[in-house]
Amino acid sequence: MKQNEGNNIENKKFKKKIKDKNTINTNHKYLQYTNLLLVLSIFYFLYSKPNLKEKHKIEYLLTTLLTITIIFSQLFWNNPIKHSKIHKIDAIIAKIVIFSFILYTIIYKFKISYLLVLIAIAISFYFSNYFSNQEWCSNQHLFCHGCLHIFCFIATFYAFTPINPFLL
């Protein structure tokens, strides 16, 4: 009798571990949704400036890079295997795009409030990396990475906002 109780307890623990593991494995899907926020940035770029002459040529390049980032991020977060080929490609593309947006925004569209967004991006990136090194796809890792997506989404609006002619 006691042996059966011990086996039942072990089975419940095992099932709980499987359930917890499945929960963690499906939580990464939220990052596909936060990544899709960037599609709104592309629509904002395309439809916010009806006069095409107002759009800076670099912004078209940024929009193309953003589209590539969305595609690779969706592919990666569909099945997020750490250090996989798609993970490495996604990471490289994301870093290039983030750097490009930051550089463009600082040079052409800088506002003091942009610094707050940059700080939020840096903090989110730091903690996403910290928690992913502790446990890949842990809830803390996914939360911080989701925040990173949201702050990058906000930052894109600084790049795509029309230039104020009074500042030139």
Taking only the tens place, the pLDDT of each residue in 63-101 is: 999 999 999 999 999 999 999 999 999 999 999 999 999
Nearest to 136 by CA among 79, 72, 90: 79
Q: Is the pTM of this model over 0.85?
A: no
Proportion of the chain above pLDDT 90, given as a percent: 68
* End-to-end Cα distance, the chain: 84
> pLDDT of 136-152, one tens digit each?
999 999 999 999 999 99
What are the residue boundaries of the structural domains of the chain, listed by start? 2-167
Q: Is the pLDDT of residue 60 over 60?
A: yes
Per-residue model confidence (pLDDT) at position 47: 85
CA atoms within 13 A on the CB side of 51: 4
Per-residue model confidence (pLDDT) at position 9: 53
